[in-house]
């Protein structure tokens, strides 16, 4: 990485990490909690001897901690997995296997690839997928959702909050509606777990996926909530671990870390949410005021407190990120060029964000480690970056500081 050029070059400044929806910094207390399970407590929890005993007990403590984070009725409803993608795959494929006569699935067009691509795969295998659309603010089409409900549907899988915009779906109400048709309801809660309170008990939610590294646990650990009594088939077979619901020797240190991170999140949530939301709003308002032709995507009134997605028209996201990186500022973009595809993010396209803006959508995602200083730095650097990129763009008129009146329309390409 090139040395940061910020702070007038007088000193190297702290990195401003604003990409917490991608992954988060591991909390020191989490590291401290998990370390013994990489060193002294190396036993296999399945063993009968005393080496396995503390490991097995620690796993059960972690299970209770995750239970409390999501407000489950029983700790045994928590199944540890390697990641949220595994949890989501398990949920959907379990329903497909448990209800072979039901050949339809309901999901939305803005899901994470873990859901999208699995459903596309099942579509190729002959399943009918109801792809529920969203409006220009990313709000789900409730009418289409209601119309898709029937006894032919094996499972509904919808994200609780969108990873790109932070927009929250009314999951509780939708889960209630599914009950009337006896449909299993799965929610991908990766972007809400640890950010807003969750109460799955009595919610109508049958399955829920979460990921540790989105709330200060390390990568490689996730969990699937499975409501007691919900029909289930395991994805991984060949062991009694997790009550036969997920075979394979437990990732003990990861599980302990996830438990600790869940406990810390429960404690921090109330205290930190408001502070995080205030910083997010200051960043958002500040950027909109300083940069012409920019707007917020998604639904600001129904949003997780840490996420802001702002589209800067007539500039391309990757260029912005590369320049922010020079200032030691980390954010992310749904632009086509950061992913290597030619289409901008499916979430931006689903909301019908014009191409002029979709390529320049930048996501800022905060955490409890975010400081006011980091927000100031973005406010100080980003407007000039956008201005500089616009000044070399054929779509922009630098003299008037607005899009060219005579639109740039290439003859071919």
How many residues interact with another protein (rule CB under 8 A)? 34
Using DSSP bridges, classify how beta strands 78-81 and 16-17 pair: parallel, antiparallel or unpaired: unpaired
Near another protein in 224-253, by CB under 8 A: none
Our finding on whether 342 is near another protein (CB under 8 A) is yes
Q: Is the dihedral of CA 135, 138, 143, 149 positive or negative?
A: positive
Near another protein in 114-153, by CB under 8 A: 124
Q: How far apart (Å, rounded) are the C-alpha atoms in residues 254 and 122?
A: 31
Our finding on whether 270 is near another protein (CB under 8 A) is no
Rule CB under 8 A: choose which of 60, 281, 318, 376 binds another protein.
318
Our finding on whether 338 is near another protein (CB under 8 A) is yes
Our finding on whether 9 is near another protein (CB under 8 A) is no
Here the tokens at position 137 are 């603010």
State how far Cα 191 lies from the chain centre.
4
Rule CB under 8 A: choose which of 152, 220, 356, 376 binds another protein.
356
Q: How far apart (Å, rounded) are the C-alpha atoms in residues 338 and 355?
A: 15
Task: Write the Ramachandran bin of 407: left for phi over 0, alpha for psi from -120 to 50, otherwise beta.
Answer: beta
Our finding on whether 312 is near another protein (CB under 8 A) is no
Active site residue 337: yes
Give the burial class of 176: count Cβ atoms within 10 A of its Cβ; 0-12 exposed, 13-18 middle, 19 or more buried.
Answer: middle
List 7, 13, 337, 402, catalytic entry: 337
Q: How far apart (Å, rounded) are the C-alpha atoms in residues 246 and 256?
A: 17
Which range touches another protein (CB under 8 A), out of 54-62, 63-71, 139-147, 403-411? 403-411
Which range touches another protein (CB under 8 A), out of 20-28, 59-67, 184-192, 320-328? 320-328
CA distances from 411 to 314, 355, 408 (A): 19, 18, 9
Rule CB under 8 A: choose which of 98, 219, 325, 369 binds another protein.
325
DSSP 341-385: SSS--HHHHHTT--HHHHTTEEEEE--TT--HHHHHHHHHHHHHH
Our finding on whether 413 is near another protein (CB under 8 A) is yes
Which range touches another protein (CB under 8 A), out of 188-196, 217-225, 257-265, 314-322? 314-322
List interacting residues with another protein (CB under 8 A). 2, 124, 314-319, 322-323, 325-326, 335-338, 340-342, 344, 355-356, 359, 391-395, 408-413
């Amino acid at each position: 990485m090139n040395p940061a050029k910020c702070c007038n070059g007088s000193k190297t400044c702290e990195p401003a990490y604003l990409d917490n929806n991608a992954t988060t910094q591991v909390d020191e207390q989490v590291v401290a909690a998990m370390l013994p399970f990489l060193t002294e407590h190396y036993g296999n929890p399945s063993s009968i001897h005393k080496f396995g005993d503390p490991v097995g007990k620690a796993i059960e403590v972690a299970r209770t901690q995750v239970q409390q984070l999501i407000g489950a009725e029983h700790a045994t409803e928590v199944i540890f997995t390697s990641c949220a993608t595994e949890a989501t795959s398990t949920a959907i494929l379990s329903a497909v296997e448990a209800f072979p006569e039901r050949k339809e699935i309901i999901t939305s067009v803005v899901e994470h690839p873990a859901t999208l691509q699995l459903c596309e795969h099942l579509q190729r295998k002959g399943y009918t997928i109801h792809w529920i659309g969203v409006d220009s603010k990313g709000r789900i089409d409730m009418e289409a959702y209601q119309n898709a409900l029937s006894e032919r549907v094996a499972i509904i899988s919808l994200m609780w909050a969108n990873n790109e915009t932070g927009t929250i779906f009314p999951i509780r109400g939708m889960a209630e509606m599914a009950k009337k048709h006896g449909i299993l309801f799965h929610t991908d809660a990766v972007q809400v777990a640890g950010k807003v309170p969750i109460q799955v008990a009595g919610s109508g939610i049958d399955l829920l996926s979460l990921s540790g590294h989105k709330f200060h646990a390390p990568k490689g650990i996730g969990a699937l909530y499975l409501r007691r009594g919900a029909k289930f088939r395991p994805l991984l077979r060949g062991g009694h671990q997790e009550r036969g619901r997920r075979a394979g020797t437990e990732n003990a240190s990861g599980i302990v870390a996830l438990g600790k991170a869940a406990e810390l999140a429960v404690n921090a949530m109330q205290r930190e949410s408001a502070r995080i939301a205030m910083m997010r709003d200051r960043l958002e308002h500040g950027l909109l005021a300083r940069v012409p032709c920019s707007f917020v995507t998604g639904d600001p009134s129904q949003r997780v407190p840490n996420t802001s997605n702002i589209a800067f028209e007539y500039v391309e996201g990757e260029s912005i990120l590369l320049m922010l990186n020079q200032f030691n500022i980390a954010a992310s973009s749904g632009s086509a060029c950061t992913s290597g595809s030619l289409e901008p993010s499916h979430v931006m396209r689903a909301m019908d964000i014009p191409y002029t803006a979709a390529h320049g959508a930048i996501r800022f995602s905060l955490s409890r480690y975010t400081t006011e200083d980091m927000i100031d730095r973005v406010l100080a650097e980003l407007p000039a970056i956008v201005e500089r990129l616009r000044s070399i763009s054929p779509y922009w008129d630098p003299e008037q500081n607005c899009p060219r009146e005579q639109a740039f329309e290439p003859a071919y390409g």
